[in-house]
Structure 1
Amino acid sequence: MISTMQDVPLGIRRLLEHAVTVYPDQKLFTAQGDGSLTVATFAEAGANAARLAHGLTELGVTAGDRVATLMWNNEEHIEAYFAVPAMGAVLHTLNLRLPGEQIAFIANHAEDRVLLVDHTLLPALVALLPAMKTVEHVVVNHGALDAAAVGTDLPALASAAGRPVEVHDYASLIAGRPDTFDWPEVPETTAAAMCYTSGTTGDPKGVVFSHRSIFLNAMGSALPSMMGISSADRVLAIVPQFHVLSWGLPYIAFLGGTELVLPGPFLQAEPLAKMIQKTRVNKAAGVPTIWQGLLAYLEANPGAADVSSLKEAVVGGSACPPSLMEAYDRLGITLIHAYGMTETSPLVTVARPPAGLSPEEAWPYRLTQGRFVANVAARLVGAGGEILPWDGVSAGELELRGPWIAGSYYSGGAATGAAAADPEKFHDGWLRTGDVGHISPDGYLTLTDRAKDVIKSGGEWISSVELENLLMAHPAVAEASVIGVPDDRWGERPFALVVLRPGVEATFPELREFLSGKVARWQVPERWQVIAEVPKTSVGKFDKRRLRQQYAVGELVAELVPAP
C-alpha cells in the first residue's frame, strides 16, 4: 500500500527558503577586529546566498563540484553553507587548524575546484595553494575590511599559485547579481557537504553528508530534549564551522529561526566575554577548552564583563570536567554534555536529566553523555563480539546506526563515489565509534574512554578520562592528561601529566592522596610529570597520541611516586 503523502525531497534549499520567508528578520551577528559586530538578517543572508550561487555558476561550478571553504565563523561562511549545496554542488569545509600538508591532501583528495577563504588566512594559503592541484578559483572574503585591501592581496595570491588560478573578491563576485536563484530540485540522497576526520591515526578520511542527513540531523538536534534551541534563542556559535558543520548549528538556526552570534577568529576569552555582554546571548556551544579559558578570565577579572544573559551551553568534542560544570553552576550557567563525531553528523546524545529532579538528583545524569536522539540506534559490543545489555554496568564499544550515521568513507574520484565499508570502522550496517562505555536501563550513555586510550593494567582496565576529571577537580590543577605507558610487571600503568595553575603549587604525593578513595588503590598513578600545556588536536581534544610519542622518544620523563 502506498501512502497518500506528497513526495517532496528533504533539501538544503528548503531550509534556506523557510528561513528567508518565515524568519526574515532574525539576525546573524559577525565579530570584527575592532570589537564591533556587523548584523545581517536571514533575508539579507539568503539574498547573498542567491548572489553567490550566480557567481559560482559563472565560475563554472556545476552539480557535484566541490566548493571548499577555509574560513572562520562569519556571515559569508553561512551564505556558502546554503548557496553551495542548494545549487547542487558540495560544500567542503577545510579544517584550518590541521597541518598544511594535511589540508593540501584533503583538498586534493576531495578534488576541490573552488576555494573560499577569509582574508586573515591568506598568509597560510599562499604556502598551501601550490600544493592544491585541483583548485581553479580562489574567492577571498574581505568581510568588513576597507576595499583598498582587495587591490593589494589578490594579485599576490594569484602569482603564488605557480599555475593558472583565478582569484576573486567575494563582495565583487556577488555584487549586482540577482537576489533570487532558481534552486534545482536535487534528490535528497545527493551529497550536500563533506568533512574530513582530523587524521590523528593516519590520513584524514572523508565523510559525505546528504541533504537528507543534514535536514534530519537539524530536526533531531533542535528538539527540546536535545539542543533545545528555537526562534526564542540567540546562540553564540563558538564551535568552528569547519568542525562537523559547526555541529549543524547554521542548519538548525535556519530550521527554527534561531539567531546566531559568529565570533570569527576572536576565540580568546576576553572578546568572547564581551560578545556575550554585547549581544545578550542566552545559549552557546563549544568545546571544554573554550569554557576553561573563559572561566579563568572571569575569575581573574571580576566585573570585566556581564555574562548573566547566558543560561546554558552545550559542550562537546571531549568530556567536560565535573569541576568545570560546578564552577559554571555557580555563575548561573549550565554546561550540558553532548556527544557525537564527524561520522555521526554529529549529534548522538545530549545529557539533559529527567524532569522533576532536584539539582542533587540531576547531577549524576549531567555527568553522563546523555540520552540518544531519536533515529539513532545504539548497541554495546563486548571484546568477544557479544551484544551487551543496557544495565549501567556492562562496558563495551559503542556502535551506532541511523539516517545521519556514516556507512563508509569517501574514496575520492567521482562525486558519487564512496569507499567500501572499512571493517575497522563499519560492519553489519553499524558504525564502530571506538568509544568504550556503558548505558543505563533508562538510556543514558556514559563513556569511560576511547578504546585506544584505555589503560590495560594487569588484565584490568583503567579509565584515563576518569583520572583526568578527578585530577582537574584539584584546585591546583588547570589541565591533566593520563596515558598508558609500558610496565614490565603490569603490562601498562597510568602516567599522569598535569598543568598547574599559575602561582599555585601541589606536590605529586599530594595529588596521589587526592585520588585516594576516589578510585581503586591500584588505579592511582605512580608516574607523574608537570608540563606547561597538554597538546591539543585540531578540534581541541587532548592529543594523547602525541603524548605517547613524546614518551616513546624520551621527551617526557616520569617521576616515580610510590604509594605510601
Structure 2
Amino acid sequence: MQALMMNSQLMISSILVHAERNFPESEIVSVTADNPLHRYTYKDFASRSRQLANVLPLLGAKFGDRIGTLAWNDYRHLELYYGVSGSGMVCHTINPKLFPEQIVYIIKHAQDKVLFVDLLVMPLIEALKAHLSEVEHIVVLTDKAHMPQTTLTNVKCYEELLATQSDQFDWPQFDENTASGMCYTSGTTGNPKGVVYSHRSTLLHALAGSLPDVTNASTKETCMPVVPMFHVNAWGIPYGSIMAGSKMVMPGPKMADGATLQTLIESEGVTYSSGVPTIWLALLNYLDQSKTTLSKLTRVTVGGAACPRTIIERFLTYGTKVVQGWGMTETSPLGTVFCLKRDMTDLSDTEMVDLQCKQGRGVFGIQMRIVDDNNQELPWDGVAFGALKVRGPWVASGYYGLSQEPGSEGCPVDEHGWFDTGDVATIDANGFMQITDRTKDVIKSGGEWVSSIEIENAAVSHPMIAEAAAIGRYHPKWTERPLLVVVLKPGASLSSQEVIAYLTPTLHKWSLPDDVVFVTELPHTATGKLNKLALRKTFEDYQFPNVS
C-alpha cells in the first residue's frame, strides 16, 4: 500500500521562498571589504538572489556546472549559496587560505566554469593567473567604485551584473538528489578530495541542525556564523537559520578579530554564534584585555578541533554556554552535539564542564558506532575505544572523481555501508561521544593506546603555554612514548620538568609525556590544524633522554 502524500522535492530554493514569504523583515548585517556595515532584509536578499540566477546563464553557466567561490561570510556570498544552487548549478566553496597549489588543483579538478571572488582575494587570483585558463569568468564581489586594477581580461563586477537583471525568476524544480554544493577536504597527505552535497542532504541537515537540542534556530534568535562559509557550508547555518527566520550577522574578513566580534555581538544583539577554538580564544583574549563583556550571547558552538577546557570555563564567566559538536566535511558536517538529557539537571559545575569537553550526543539522522581492529562493534560504556564509523542521509558515499564502490580503494565507505571517519572515540552509556585521537595520530605504547588530544588539552590549560602538540616517538622498550612539543606564550619560561609536574594530577601515569621540548612555532595545515605529519618528520631522529 502506498501513502497518499504529496511528493515534493526538497529544494534549497524552497528555503528562500519560505523565508521571503514568512520573514521578509528579518535582517542580514554584514561586514565587507567595501562596506564596514551593510544591512538589508530577507526580502532584499531574496530579490538579489533571483537577479543572480538571471546573471548566471549570461556567463555561460548551465545546469550542473560548478561555480566556484573564494569569499568570506557576507551577504553576497549568501546570495551565491542560494542563487547558484537554486538554479541547478553547484556552489563550490573554496578556502582562500589554502596553499596556492591546492587552490589550483581544486579549481581544475572541479572544473569550475566561473569564479566569484572577494575583493581581498584578488591578489591571490592575480598570482594564479597562469593556471586559470579554463575559468571563463572571474566576478569580483564588489561595486564599480571599488573594482581593483587587474591584468586579467575576463573580470567582471558583481554589482554591475546584478543591476542589469530583473528580480523575476521562477526557481526550477528537479530531482532532489541533484548536486547542490561542493567542498574539498584538505588533509596532510595527498590531494584534497571533493565532497558533493545534494539538495536533499542539505535540507535534511538543515532541519536536523535546527532542532532545539542542536542549534535551537528561531526567528527570535540573532545568529553570527564565525565558522567560514568556505568551510563545510558554515556548518549548515546559512540554511537552518534562514529557514527559521533568524537575524543574521556576518563578520566578513573580520572573523578572527576579537574587537570586531565583540562589537557586533553587543551592537546587533547576537544570541548565538559558531566557530573554531582559535576564533574564540581571540575573542576571549580581547574581552580580558578590554574589560568588555558579552551581555546577550547565550551560547557558542565550538567545532573543527577539540575544545580546550579553558575555553569552556572562560566563557562561563561571561554567562555564555559552550556547545561542543563534532563533524567533518564528509558529514555536512553535523554528527554530534552537546546537550543534556532529562535527568542531568543537577550536575555540579565540574561535572557539567566534564560533559561539555566531550563531543556530544548523536543527532537524529546520524548513526554511529565504534569498532575494534576486526571491525567488531564495541560497547557504549565510556571505556572501550575504537575506530568511529557513521552513516546517514547527509554522509558522503564517496569522493568526486574517485571510486563509489563501497569497500574499494578510494571509497571511504566500507562494504557494510559505514563511513570510516579516521577518528578514535569512546561512547558512554548516555550516548556522549568523545574523540580521543585521529587514527593516524594515536600513540601506541606498550600495547596501550594513548590519546594525543588528551595530553594537548591538559597542556594548553597551563597559563604559560600558548600551543602544544603530542606525538609518539620511538622507544626501545615500549615501541612508542609521548613527546610533548610546546610553544610558550611571549615572555614565559618553563622547564620540561615543570610541565610534566603540572600534567601529573590531570593525566593517567601512562599518558604523561616522557619528555617536553620547546619550539617557537608548530607547523599547521592551510586550514589551521596542527600538521602532525610534518612534526613527526621534524622529530623523526629524536631520542628520549636516559634511554639506551
Which TM-score tier does this pair reach, normalised by the shorter chain? over 0.9
Q: Deviations over 1:196-227 (max 9, x none)?
A: 00132210001100000000000001111112
In the aligned structure 2, how far is the partner of 1:381 from the partner of 1:94?
33
Change (3 A) 1:67 1:373: same
In the aligned structure 2, how far is the partner of 1:559 from the partner of 1:170?
58
In the aligned structure 2, how far is the partner of 1:42 from the partner of 1:395?
46
Does the 8 A contact of 1:508 with 1:561 survive in 2? no
TM-score by length of 1: 0.92
In the aligned structure 1, how far is the partner of 2:546 from the partner of 2:497?
7
In the aligned structure 2, how far is the partner of 1:228 from the partner of 1:262?
19
Matched, 1:299 2:274: no
Per mean C-alpha deviation after superposition, the further-off stretch among 205-214 and 517-526 is 517-526
1:410 alignment partner AA: Y
1:287 alignment partner AA: V
Does the 8 A contact of 1:95 with 1:242 survive in 2? yes
Does the 8 A contact of 2:222 with 2:249 survive in 1? yes
2:264 is aligned to 275
Alignment of 1:417-496 (within 5 A): 419-421=404-406, 422-423=408-409, 425-427=412-414, 428-496=416-484
Matched, 1:373 2:363: yes
Does the 8 A contact of 2:269 with 2:296 survive in 1? yes
2:390 alignment partner AA: L
Q: Deviations over 1:82-110 (max 9, x none)?
A: 00010011110011111111111111111
SS in 2 for 1:433: strand
Per mean C-alpha deviation after superposition, the further-off stretch among 502-511 and 231-240 is 502-511
Does the 8 A contact of 2:443 with 2:471 survive in 1? yes
Does the 8 A contact of 1:317 with 1:540 survive in 2? no
SS in 2 for 1:397: strand
In the aligned structure 2, how far is the partner of 1:261 from the partner of 1:214?
21
SS in 2 for 1:469: helix
Does the 8 A contact of 1:18 with 1:254 survive in 2? no
Of residues 508, 520, 525, the one that matches 1:537 is 525
Alignment of 1:368-407 (within 5 A): 368-407=358-397
**How far did residue 35 of structure 1 move?**
8.3
RMSD: 1.9
Matched, 1:68 2:68: yes
Matched, 1:287 2:296: no
Per mean C-alpha deviation after superposition, the further-off stretch among 61-70 and 491-500 is 491-500
**How far did residue 406 of structure 1 move?**
0.6
1:36 is aligned to 36
In the aligned structure 2, how far is the partner of 1:559 from the partner of 1:133?
52
1:228 is aligned to 216
Q: Deviations over 1:393-417 (max 9, x none)?
A: 11111111100001111108xxxxx
1:163 is aligned to none
SS in 2 for 1:358: coil
Matched, 1:317 2:313: no
Per mean C-alpha deviation after superposition, the further-off stretch among 167-176 and 543-552 is 543-552
SS in 2 for 1:426: coil
Does the 8 A contact of 1:353 with 1:366 survive in 2? no
2:5 is aligned to 5
Matched, 1:347 2:327: no
Of residues 229, 237, 251, the one that matches 2:225 is 237
2:76 alignment partner AA: E
Matched, 1:149 2:138: no
In the aligned structure 1, how far is the partner of 2:405 from the partner of 2:82?
29
**How far did residue 561 of structure 1 move?**
8.8
In the aligned structure 2, how far is the partner of 1:32 from the partner of 1:113?
25
1:182 is aligned to 170
Q: Deviations over 1:436-457 (max 9, x none)?
A: 1111122111111111110011
Change (3 A) 1:539 1:182: same
Residue-pair matches, total: 540
Q: Deviations over 1:159-212 (max 9, x none)?
A: xxxxxxx22100011103111211110110000001000132210001100000
Does the 8 A contact of 1:528 with 1:558 survive in 2? no
Does the 8 A contact of 2:475 with 2:544 survive in 1? no
In the aligned structure 2, how far is the partner of 1:180 from the partner of 1:25?
20
Structure 2 residue runs without a partner (length 5+): none
2:126 is aligned to 126
1:26 is aligned to 26
**How far did residue 550 of structure 1 move?**
2.4
1:517 is aligned to 505
1:202 is aligned to 190
SS in 1 for 2:539: helix
Does the 8 A contact of 1:89 with 1:192 survive in 2? yes
In the aligned structure 2, how far is the partner of 1:174 from the partner of 1:33?
19
Q: Give the fraction of aligned pairs with identical amino acids, expressed as a percent.
A: 39
Matched, 1:79 2:82: no
Q: Deviations over 1:246-275 (max 9, x none)?
A: 111101112111122111111222222222
1:221 alignment partner AA: G
Matched, 1:337 2:324: yes
Per mean C-alpha deviation after superposition, the further-off stretch among 444-453 and 497-506 is 497-506
Does the 8 A contact of 2:486 with 2:517 survive in 1? yes
Does the 8 A contact of 1:528 with 1:560 survive in 2? no
Does the 8 A contact of 2:195 with 2:329 survive in 1? yes
In the aligned structure 2, how far is the partner of 1:333 from the partner of 1:234?
15
In the aligned structure 2, how far is the partner of 1:359 from the partner of 1:26?
39
